[in-house]
């Protein structure tokens, strides 16, 4: 079975920056494709996603749970692409993704949410210091 691909859809340069940083840290090249919503209508954004989703097993990462990126990704997925859409994309999610490309897209989506939650933490300095 072919490896799954990841598509990162985000506002401005965020998708490109996340993909480049993931590749730099992991050494894994070409597993993630960045798509920006910059300067495009919702229809054009959906078209850009549609061009890459469906070429092979795909997991779509978006920056926000609502907004143009998530909306376009969910439309494309619902049209029959069947690609899971994970919101709140983060570096921990993408790093885990590139090291587990042999897994099913649905399992990768579940892992991404777990890694996203696990990667979020708050630091509270000791008030007595």
The per-residue pLDDT string of the chain (129 residues; one tens digit each, 9 = 90 and over) reads 458 899 999 999 999 999 999 999 999 999 999 999 999 999 999 999 999 887 678 999 999 999 999 999 999 999 977 899 999 999 999 999 999 999 999 999 999 999 999 999 999 998 665
What is the predicted pLDDT for the residue at 54? 74
Sorted by sequence, the CB contacts under 8 Å of residue 13 that are 6+ apart come out as 36, 38
User: What's the rounded Cα separation, in Å, for the pair 118 and 129?
Assistant: 28
What is the predicted pLDDT for the residue at 1? 41
Q: How far apart are the first and last CA of the chain?
A: 56
Sorted by sequence, the CB contacts under 8 Å of residue 124 that are 6+ apart come out as none
What is the predicted pLDDT for the residue at 127? 65
Class (C level, CATH) for 5-119:
alpha beta
Structure tokens belonging to residue 20: 């480049």
Structure tokens belonging to residue 31: 């597993």
What is the predicted pLDDT for the residue at 110? 96
What is the predicted pLDDT for the residue at 2? 56
What is the predicted pLDDT for the residue at 82? 80
Instruction: Provide the CA 16 distance to its chain's centre, in angstroms.
Output: 11
User: What's the rounded Cα separation, in Å, for the pair 90 and 123?
Assistant: 18
CA angle 99, 101, 102 (to 5 degrees): 120
Is the separation of the CB atoms in 11 and 63 below 8 Å? yes
Q: How far lies 3's CA from each of 18, 57, 105, in Å?
A: 20, 7, 9
């Amino acid at each position: 079975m072919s490896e799954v691909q990841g598509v990162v859809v985000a506002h401005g340069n965020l998708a490109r920056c996340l993909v480049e940083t993931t590749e730099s840290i992991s050494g894994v090249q070409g597993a993630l494709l960045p798509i920006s919503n910059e300067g495009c209508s919702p229809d054009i954004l959906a078209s850009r996603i549609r061009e890459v989703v469906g070429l092979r097993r795909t997991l779509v990462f978006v920056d926000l749970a609502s907004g143009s990126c998530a909306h376009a990704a969910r439309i494309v997925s619902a049209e029959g692409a069947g690609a899971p859409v994970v919101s709140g994309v983060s570096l921990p999610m993408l790093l885990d993704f590139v090291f587990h490309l042999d897994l099913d897209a649905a399992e990768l989506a579940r892992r991404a949410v777990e890694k996203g939650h696990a990667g979020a933490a708050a630091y509270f300095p000791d008030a007595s210091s």
